[in-house]
Structure 1
Amino acid sequence: MSTPPAGSGTNLDPWYDLYAERTSGLAASEVRALFAVASRPEVVSLAGGMPFVSALPEDLIRAAFSDVMSSQGPTALQYGSGQGVPALRERILDVMAEESIHASVDDVVTTTGSQQAIDLVAKLFLDPGDVVLAEAPSYVGAIGVFRSYQARTVHVAMDSDGLIPEALREAIAREKAAGSTIKFLYTVPNFHNPAGVTLSADRRSEILEIARSNGILVIEDDPYGLLYFDAPPPPPIRTLDDEGVVYLGSFSKTLAPGFRVGWALAPHAIRDKLVLAAESAILSPSSFNQMVVNRYLETADWRAQIDVFRGVYRERRDAMLEALTEHLPGLTWTNPNGGFYVWLTLPEGLDAKQMLPRAVTELVAYTPGTAFYADGGGRNEMRLSFCYPTPERIELGIRRLTTVINGEAALLDAFSSTGPLQVQSKTRHVMTPPPDLG
């Protein structure tokens, strides 16, 4: 056994001095760190965005596994193409057509979840010090990827209609004046994670034009677009431009995350490099998982199953909004028309991250807003996930959360010279635009 080299290191890691500089950007996700606590049965978890996979037809999933092994076993268990199984890529075209995207199968790259697609795009485009523009707040998994490539995430303000075009213009001008290199805009336009809002149709075209005029690529991450409740969202940005947009999709929310199957739809030149980057990282995505997903799409009424998911999540969204209205009428939150999340804003002075240990003691968990900002913002904000708990558990969780918030507010009042917090006063349930923290 070799001996670690001498060096300053740390008390726990003798290899510290040998790590690449970019590893300084690796940090534990606040969302993942919550899973151990939130998995305790007595805790109502409003933290993780876990799909309710129990709503899937187990017989069809089991049949897909069996069919693949009986008819394609040797192929399914072998290495495959770095671009993905052709038959599944054809099926992905059918899925994207549900959102009015029409493309060539040659431009689809299958990935190990859309998380890998984010990583591959970052690997292709980001040099240390580059800038990525993203909503404030933004998806924690993407922020972590950009940080790992030593890029800087610059947040752009959003409101109840999504990313604000004027704020985007201002952020671009400010970064260019500072000499920064902006590589791309990362956006989750449909039922945003974590904010729950949807980018309006008018803003989609305006934001695309801003990106075009500044030579900025758009990365459109769309795992929730088919999970609408009352009406579908506007067509994806990708429908407006097939050269300036890389569109990311996933089966994690509309089927199951355990398959780890996602995809990227990219312009030709980017597509070729994505395949090369994927091959260098993993040789090829799992042929077996892709074939099982493909068989499911061939044999099941997957459109009807997505509609089942819509009904499940709509009921749970309604339960959360009703509970918030009853127990926390003085706060503001978003009213999502799809997806998994509600974004809650606390009174100024309350810190959702510092409050979390007390919440766990009261047997409820959520994700603090700081997880979704690269710059430490979001201290008085939190993400509440309604996708996994039953409506009854959601109501219980909000009641427990109310106890925590009112307790923290009372403590703050005791030390405040500005008067008591009005947690119980009525207000509109809309998203308050965060500051432009770019």
Structure 2
Amino acid sequence: MDGQSADVFGRGARLRKGELHSSVSDPVLDTMTFLNEVTLRYPDAISFAPGRPYDGFFDTEQIFGYLRGYLDHEAARGSSPERVRTLMYQYGPVAGQIRDIVADWLRVDENIDVPPESVVVTVGAQEAMLLVLRALVCGPEDAILVASPCFMGITGAARLLDIPVTPVPEGADGYRREALEEVIEQERARGRRPRAFYVIPDHSNPSGATMGLRDRTELLELAARHDLLIVEDSPYRLVSPGPPLPTLKSLDRARRVVHIGSFAKTVFPGARLGFVVADQPVVEDHPAVDGEPVVGDQPVVGGAGRRTLLADELAKIKSMVTVNTPSLSQAVVAGALLAARGRLSELNAKAAVHYDDALRHTLQELEARLPADRRAALGVRWNEPSGGFFLGVRVPFRADNAALVRSAEEFGVIWTPMSYFYPGGGGDQELRLSISYVTPSEITEGTARLARFIEAASSAPS
């Protein structure tokens, strides 16, 4: 190391932490860094922390095949070599250059029938969350409601935008209508307008809960009754076993649902490709076209007769965030969709079986290591999700960062504190297990180590 590098903290401008945006000191933004540090510090520990897809399904050569498939598709639809070159090498349309392919896939695989103009292709689902929050919240009176426990991505995005979120407690089976209505009334009593409710209906991260069909229809009815939007995020549907329940968006007849999606689990996360379906019409506060008022809630007609959708407004914001989504990533994912003939569910059939086997194996091993009578004596319990990557374990001790370090150091097993996922506080005696990135032998050994840790921590003085 040279003298200049060694002296990086010793001279020059210094910034005070208190003069930076407060989000940089928020524990939510430190969680992934902490988990990564623990993983690096204890490389021999078996980790049930990362919610990433299993590497065994990836083949490097597929990338080239998918890319070639998309280029051939463009040529077949009449694009000249110069046009194809521009598509690959230049800045593309802000809202995405594969919106038609994404819309076709949604119609075939998810029964979501929307025009391509309502789709915005984003840099992962995380950007989609940021765009939706920024567009929907226009003042301190607007409230964003989130299911609790909740995926950290939405709470982290809200924190960056200085948007407070209001938790809606889940029950054992996830979403509870009574809890949501109670929170809506409480927010209105405080003079706030409940703007949207964020939820993962299928195999939720972190709890693993799935919303039943009746609950889905009730939620849509509730949204209409309370003039509420639903922000649906559902990345685990097509990598889970059996026919999935319909998405909220496919059941949506009143354009109450903004649907966020990701190709991280169904294609590969390195593409960093997501999307948002936002087909809600946007009207002017005092609408008029050519001096004549617009009747009812018809969308404003812009240049060349173009209707304005929420997707158009999201694209405006995106143009100042990432400008556009990388063309190469879009091309590769489009190639995968074309190769699957719009059936990512079939492309992921093998993966769904693998993840289901991993989940069942984990539950069986936990049962063997901590049978019912022993669990009752200790005060330990867990849920049994029907799919997805995660399950939650309730323990009789504080499952915090200190406990995680002890678990990794003394017992060689890593998990995620569930308290990370409770924006209003809670989850102090819960931990999350991810089954997606561990092998069968790691599951067997890892659950044995976890059981030994739980036994030891449960008997330790508080």
Q: TM-score, normalised by structure 2?
A: 0.81
**Offset from partner CA, 1:42-72 (integer Å, 9 cap, x none):** 1211001011132134432232245668974
What is the CA distance between 1:190 and its match in structure 2? Answer: 0.6
Matches within 5 A, 1:335-346: 335-346=384-395
CA distance in 2, matches of 1:381, 1:17: 32
Look up the equivalent residue of 2:123 and give its one-letter code: T
What is the CA distance between 1:25 and its match in structure 2? Answer: 5.3
Matches within 5 A, 1:299-338: 299-300=339-340, 302-329=344-371, 330=375, 331-338=380-387
Which SS does the other structure have where 2:132 is aligned?
Answer: helix
Which SS does the other structure have where 1:97 is aligned?
Answer: helix
1:291 aligns with 2:331: yes
Look up the equivalent residue of 1:110 and give its one-letter code: V
What is the CA distance between 1:275 and its match in structure 2? Answer: 0.7
Bigger-Rg structure (1/2)? 2
Which SS does the other structure have where 1:195 is aligned?
Answer: coil
Aligned to 1:188: 200
Look up the equivalent residue of 2:398 and give its one-letter code: L
Matches within 5 A, 1:30-49: 30-38=31-39, 41-49=43-51
What is the CA distance between 1:328 and its match in structure 2? Answer: 2.5
Aligned to 2:63: 61
What is the CA distance between 1:343 and its match in structure 2? Answer: 1.2
Contact 2:238 2:345 in 1 (8 A): no
CA distance in 2, matches of 1:274, 1:23: 25
Which SS does the other structure have where 1:93 is aligned?
Answer: helix
248-257 vs 203-212, greater mean Cα deviation = 203-212
1:350 aligns with 2:361: no
1:274 aligns with 2:314: yes
118-127 vs 231-240, greater mean Cα deviation = 231-240
CA distance in 2, matches of 1:193, 1:32: 19
CA distance in 1, matches of 2:239, 2:227: 32
1:239 aligns with 2:281: no
What is the CA distance between 1:229 and its match in structure 2? Answer: 1.4
Aligned to 2:122: 111
Judged with a 3 Å threshold, the aligned counterparts in structure 2 of structure 1 residues 208 and 67 are, in CA distance, closer, same or farther, namely: closer
Look up the equivalent residue of 2:328 and give its one-letter code: F
186-195 vs 298-307, greater mean Cα deviation = 298-307
- Supply the RMSD in Å over aligned alpha carbons: 2.5
CA distance in 1, matches of 2:247, 2:194: 26
Alignment gaps of 5+ in structure 2: 1-12, 73-80, 282-308
Alignment gaps of 5+ in structure 1: 1-11, 416-438
CA distance in 2, matches of 1:367, 1:399: 17
CA distance in 1, matches of 2:221, 2:104: 26
Which SS does the other structure have where 1:144 is aligned?
Answer: helix
What is the CA distance between 1:111 and its match in structure 2? Answer: 0.3
CA distance in 2, matches of 1:145, 1:405: 33
Look up the equivalent residue of 1:323 and give its one-letter code: E
Judged with a 3 Å threshold, the aligned counterparts in structure 2 of structure 1 residues 265 and 26 are, in CA distance, closer, same or farther, namely: farther
Contact 2:248 2:257 in 1 (8 A): no
Which SS does the other structure have where 2:239 is aligned?
Answer: coil
Judged with a 3 Å threshold, the aligned counterparts in structure 2 of structure 1 residues 22 and 387 are, in CA distance, closer, same or farther, namely: closer
Aligned to 1:224: 236
Contact 2:103 2:114 in 1 (8 A): no
CA distance in 1, matches of 2:357, 2:49: 18
Matches within 5 A, 1:160-199: 160-199=172-211
Matches within 5 A, 1:41-190: 41-65=43-67, 72-86=84-98, 88-95=99-106, 97-126=108-137, 127-128=139-140, 130-190=142-202
Look up the equivalent residue of 2:439 and give its one-letter code: T
Which SS does the other structure have where 1:194 is aligned?
Answer: coil
What is the CA distance between 1:238 and its match in structure 2? Answer: 4.4
What is the CA distance between 1:27 and its match in structure 2? Answer: 4.6
1:374 aligns with 2:423: yes
CA distance in 2, matches of 1:97, 1:68: 18
Judged with a 3 Å threshold, the aligned counterparts in structure 2 of structure 1 residues 288 and 374 are, in CA distance, closer, same or farther, namely: same
Which SS does the other structure have where 1:28 is aligned?
Answer: helix
Q: TM-score, normalised by structure 1?
A: 0.85
Look up the equivalent residue of 2:352 and give its one-letter code: R
Amino-acid identity (%) = 28
CA distance in 2, matches of 1:247, 1:363: 39
Contact 1:29 1:371 in 2 (8 A): no
What is the CA distance between 1:37 and its match in structure 2? Answer: 2.9
Which SS does the other structure have where 1:54 is aligned?
Answer: helix
CA distance in 1, matches of 2:49, 2:225: 39
Aligned to 1:428: none
63-72 vs 304-313, greater mean Cα deviation = 63-72
